[in-house]
Amino acid sequence: MRVTEKDVQDFWKYMAKKYDFKVVKKGDSDEMKIVGQALDQMNIQKKKEFLEQYTTTVIFGGWRCVYVPFEIGKGSHAQLIHQIATCVHECQHVVQADREVAQQIKYLTSDASRAYYEADAYRATMEMHWYFTGRILSPKSLANGLKSYSIGKADRRIAEKHLIIASKVVKRGGVITGTSKVAIRWWNRRKKVTSFRNVSLIPLKVA
């Protein structure tokens, strides 16, 4: 499936409305510079990397923003797919914060919590990447990437185990994450297809 600049821009607008957040260019945000400095001092992430390489979601009271380090809709086709997957990943963080009031605090103060929240959101990333490319992102690579979030080896291993399980479901065409389901339905309508990839929108059953 080929996607255009307008497709990606419209998708972000739809998801922002659906999950009630504002998209902000990260480099233009004074508050993100302050957060970046704090993360640097807490040895979680270098300020420069935080501002230039990572999308950040802040859901706290009436503050509902997703800060992006890129211009939405600009870039190669692979970069556009990455922007789509990033949008769904960040929407999953919005869902986490709406579901759990203390999510943002726990994310900042607990390595184990940060690893859990990221693994959950990376499952959405994995599902969207499969939908568009038919390829499975490496659970090991995704988990190893958490090192840049100042997450220790033990917690990265746990995250990797979660992602390995998720990859087996995704490889069979299964989609569990709610945000991915919303996104895939939007793209199926947008491109007028009933099913682009062999995807099954599996209900999430909680014991």
The predicted-structure confidence for 31-86, as pLDDT tens digits, reads as follows 999 988 988 898 878 899 999 999 999 998 889 999 999 999 999 999 999 999 99
Q: How far apart are CA 173 and CA 69, in angstroms?
A: 31
Higher-scoring residue by pLDDT: 204, 191: 191
pLDDT over 90 (residue 168)? yes
pLDDT band for position 135 (50/70/90)? very high
| Per-residue confidence band for 204, with pLDDT thresholds at 50, 70 and 90 | very low
Confidence of residue 110 (pLDDT cuts 50, 70, 90): very high
DSSP 80-148: HHHHHHHHHHHHHHHHHHHH-TTHHHHHHH-HHHHHHHHHHHHHHHHHHHHHHHS-PPPHHHHHHGGGG
Residues 6+ apart with CB under 8 A from 203: none
Token pair 């939007």 in the structure block, residue: 186
pLDDT in tens, 170-193: 999 899 999 999 999 999 999 876
pLDDT of 201 reads: 54
d(CA 56, CA 51): 9
CA–CA separation, 94 and 72 (whole Å): 19
Q: Answer yes or no: is pLDDT of 198 > 80.
A: no
* Amino acid 61: pLDDT: 82
Asked whether residue 108 carries a pLDDT value surpassing 90, the answer given is no
Contact in structure between 108 and 44 (CB atoms under 8 Å): yes
Phi, psi of 174 (to 5 degrees): -85, 135
pLDDT at 2: 86
- The residue whose two tokens read 């230039």 is 52
As given in the structure block, the two tokens for residue 38 are 């704090």
